[in-house]
């Protein structure tokens, strides 16, 4: 043990296992809890994807009833977004932000504990909704009237549990967001002006504001669903003077910022990994921040591009088309900056860098298809087909996974003081990157050829690509188990390292701490010049 950890250990209470994890207010413990929780949810939602890819392997209904299929798709989407990806980024934020800004911990440790411990309860409600009558079946977007009456025409318990789960998830996210804003704005080391803030912190700062603005809107929307379901209101019922499309406006006013809530922290991570393995400073630091702010602003005025075919007036469709197209500008800036960071660098390709490169390529494919989807007239063809399914998995699904996996490879040696198995990590990377493209690239063709999303069975002309996609999905899913094995192996049996700067190209305050990082990151603030 290093000198720093010894000092802290001296005044640390060391409670028993249960009390340590349940009552913890430590940013590292809470970060670990978030990440473990995310991994469990990822395995759960992933196994659902494996199951419905089994049903989609060949035409005909073989394994899963069509109703259950819709339920699988619904829960897969909700758990992946709220249970896996968002908590994973929250876990990374907890681990990294204090270490990056030179703080001992997060600003509001008890709120931090509460923010996490809401999640298992929210997840329990969500999982409980699967086994009670009326399992949610309307997709993660929960569009009424289907999310009210379901296929059976009855209002059933499952939908209510989902609504309460969403309320809790929103509370958890807001508490986390408040904590992150307060921490970043108040606890930076002396000399660390905002324009010296590490990119991951910038990305999370902006994300946190998006969360605070967007999550209450979703909470409001699902509360309106709840009162429509039980208390005789007609917000979304035309027969009572309401409008089903109103819910879509509310949902996407949350939903589009949500997409950036998921991807901005990923941008932040990539902006650390690419410079480290290029052994060069990040290109265009200031423009990266302006681009983040630009994307965040635009995210609030583009929501109805998810709704071009709902019958909006011409002027509405045109406004949302123009606003959406504008997103390409700041997003392009980010991608160009990453590539310029690599230009004339001294590149090496350890697992984190491979993940970052995969992220750039995959996100770019998602971005290009996003440009295509932004074109409202063309969207009249693409909308609600597999083209969209593939697009959003490229932009916010797989790319988020590569950012998270890359971040864990990058920072795990710092957190644990142990090195991961580089050879195994590279094998895992190559299996997974091939498989994920075999899974999702054919789905672009399926969508263009006319296959709607969310169908359990399909016409014969879609058979070959679906089979390919299923095979890819199973390989990709299995490869993720290998990733979890690599992480566990590192944490419990990895080769120890005492080096502070684990990667020779890494810069930032976290790399000045010993490995593993001390329990209270910075007891005395470092000075940033």
* Binders of another protein in range 222-261 (CB under 8 A): 237-239, 243-245
Nearer to another protein, 3 or 377 (CB): 377
Q: List the one residue out of 349, 414, 496, 357 whose CA is nearest residue 100.
A: 414
- Which of the following is catalytic: 279, 453, 454, 501? 453
The packing angle between helices 86-101 and 399-416, to 10°, is 40
Give the active site residue among 53, 280, 334, 393.
Answer: 334
Nearer to another protein, 43 or 149 (CB): 149
| Bridge partners for 73 per DSSP | none
- Catalytic: which of 135, 147, 173, 515? 173
- Nearest-5° Cα angle at 24, 4 to 93: 75
258 labelled catalytic: yes
Which residues neighbour 330 within 8 Å (Cβ) at sequence distance 6 or greater? 290, 291, 292, 294, 295, 298
Site string for another protein, 30-59 (x = CB under 8 A): ------------------------x--xxx
Q: Catalytic: 21?
A: no
CB 2 within 8 A of CB 514: yes
Q: How many binding residues for another protein (CB under 8 A)? A: 107
Minimum distance from residue 85 beta carbon to another protein (Å): 22
User: Which residues, other chains included, contact 390 with Cβ-Cβ below 8 Å and sequence gap of 6+?
Assistant: 369, 440, 441, 443, 444, 446, 447
Torsion of CA 79, 80, 81, 82, to 10 degrees: 40
Active site (annotated) includes residue 334:
yes
* Separation in Å, CA 229 to CA 52, 243, 436: 29, 14, 39
Site for another protein in 191-210 (CB under 8 A): none
Query: Residues 28, 29, 55, 140: which is the catalytic one?
Result: 140
Q: Which of 29, 137, 258, 379 is catalytic?
A: 258
Active-site position among 55, 105, 137, 510: 105
Degrees (nearest 5) of the Cα angle 493, 44, 352?
45
CA 271, 272, 277, 283 dihedral sign is positive
Is 490 an active-site residue? no
24, 183, 299, 331: which one is catalytic? 331
- Contact set for another protein, span 441-480 (CB under 8 A): 445, 448-450, 452-461, 463-465, 467
Which one, of 267, 139, 262, lies nearest residue 211 by Cα? 262
Residue whose CB is less far from another protein, 257 or 275: 275
Task: Tell which residue, 447, 439, 430, has the closest CA to residue 467.
Answer: 439
Of these, 7, 47, 124, 151, which contacts another protein (CB under 8 A)?
A: 151
- Work out the burial of residue 378: count CB atoms within 10 Å of its CB; fewer than 13 is exposed, 13-18 middle, 19 or more buried: middle
What string marks each residue from 337 to 376 as x (binds another protein by CB under 8 A) or -?
A: --xxxxxxxxxxx-------x--xx--xx--xx-xx--xx
- 137 near another protein, rule: CB under 8 A: yes
Overall size of the chain counted in residues:
529
In the bound state with another protein, the residue whose beta carbon lies nearer, of 34 and 410, is 410
407 to 446: interface string for another protein, x by CB under 8 A? --------------------------------------x-
Residues 258-317 that bind another protein (CB under 8 A): 278-287, 309-311, 313-314, 317
Among 24, 32, 48, 70, binds another protein (CB under 8 A): 70
> By CB under 8 A, is residue 489 in contact with another protein?
no
Residue 201 phi, psi (nearest 5): -70, -40
* Catalytic residue ranges: 76, 105, 140, 172-173, 256, 258, 260, 271, 305-306, 331, 334, 453
């Amino acid at each position: 043990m290093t000198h720093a950890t010894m000092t802290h250990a001296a005044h640390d209470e060391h409670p028993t296992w249960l009390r340590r994890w349940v009552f913890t207010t430590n940013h590292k413990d809470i970060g670990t809890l978030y990440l473990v929780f995310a991994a469990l949810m990822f395995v759960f939602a992933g196994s659902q994807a494996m199951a419905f890819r089994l049903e989609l392997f060949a035409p005909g209904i073989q394994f899963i009833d069509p109703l259950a299929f819709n339920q699988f798709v619904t829960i897969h989407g909700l758990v992946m977004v709220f249970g896996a990806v968002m908590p994973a980024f929250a876990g990374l934020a907890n681990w990294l932000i204090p270490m990056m800004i030179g703080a001992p911990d997060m600003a509001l440790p008890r709120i931090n504990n509460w923010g996490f411990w809401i999640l298992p309860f929210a997840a329990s409600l969500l999982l409980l909704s699967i086994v009670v009558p009326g399992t949610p079946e309307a997709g993660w977007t929960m569009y009424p009237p289907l999310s009210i009456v379901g296929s059976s025409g009855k209002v059933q318990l499952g939908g209510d549990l989902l609504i309460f789960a969403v309320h809790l998830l929103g509370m958890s996210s807001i508490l986390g967001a408040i904590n992150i804003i307060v921490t970043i704005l108040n606890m930076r080391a002396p000399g660390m002006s905002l324009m010296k803030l590490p990119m991951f912190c910038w990305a999370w700062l902006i994300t946190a504001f998006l969360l605070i603005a967007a999550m209450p809107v979703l909470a409001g929307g699902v509360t309106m669903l709840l009162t429509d379901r039980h208390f005789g209101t007609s917000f979304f019922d035309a027969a009572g003077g309401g409008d089903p499309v109103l819910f879509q406006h509310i949902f996407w006013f949350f939903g589009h910022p949500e997409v950036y809530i998921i991807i901005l922290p990923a941008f932040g991570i990539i902006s650390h990994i690419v410079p480290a393995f290029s052994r060069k400073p990040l290109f265009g630091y200031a423009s990266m921040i302006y681009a983040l702010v630009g994307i965040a602003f635009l995210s609030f005025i583009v929501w109805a591009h998810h709704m071009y075919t709902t019958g909006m007036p011409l002027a509405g469709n045109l406004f949302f088309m123009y606003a959406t197209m504008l997103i390409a500008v700041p997003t392009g800036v980010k991608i160009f900056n990453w590539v310029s960071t690599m230009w004339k660098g001294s590149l090496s390709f350890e697992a984190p860098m491979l993940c970052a490169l995969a992220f750039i390529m995959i996100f770019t494919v998602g971005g290009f298809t996003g440009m295509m989807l932004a074109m409202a007239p063309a969207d009249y063809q693409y909308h609600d087909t597999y083209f969209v399914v593939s697009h959003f998995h490229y932009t916010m699904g797989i790319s988020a996974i590569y950012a998270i996996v890359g971040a864990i490879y990058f920072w795990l040696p710092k957190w644990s003081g142990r090195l991961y198995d580089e050879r195994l990590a590279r094998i895992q990377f190559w299996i997974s990157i091939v498989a994920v493209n075999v899974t999702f690239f054919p789905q672009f063709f399926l969508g263009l050829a006319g296959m709607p999303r969310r169908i359990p069975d399909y016409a014969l002309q879609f058979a070959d690509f679906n089979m390919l996609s299923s095979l890819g999905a199973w390989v990709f899913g299995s490869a993720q188990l290998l990733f979890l094995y690599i992480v566990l192996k590192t944490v419990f049996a990895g080769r120890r390292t005492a080096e502070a700067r684990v990667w020779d190209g890494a810069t930032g305050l976290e790399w000045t701490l010993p490995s593993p990082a001390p329990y209270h990151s910075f007891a005395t603030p470092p000075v940033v010049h």
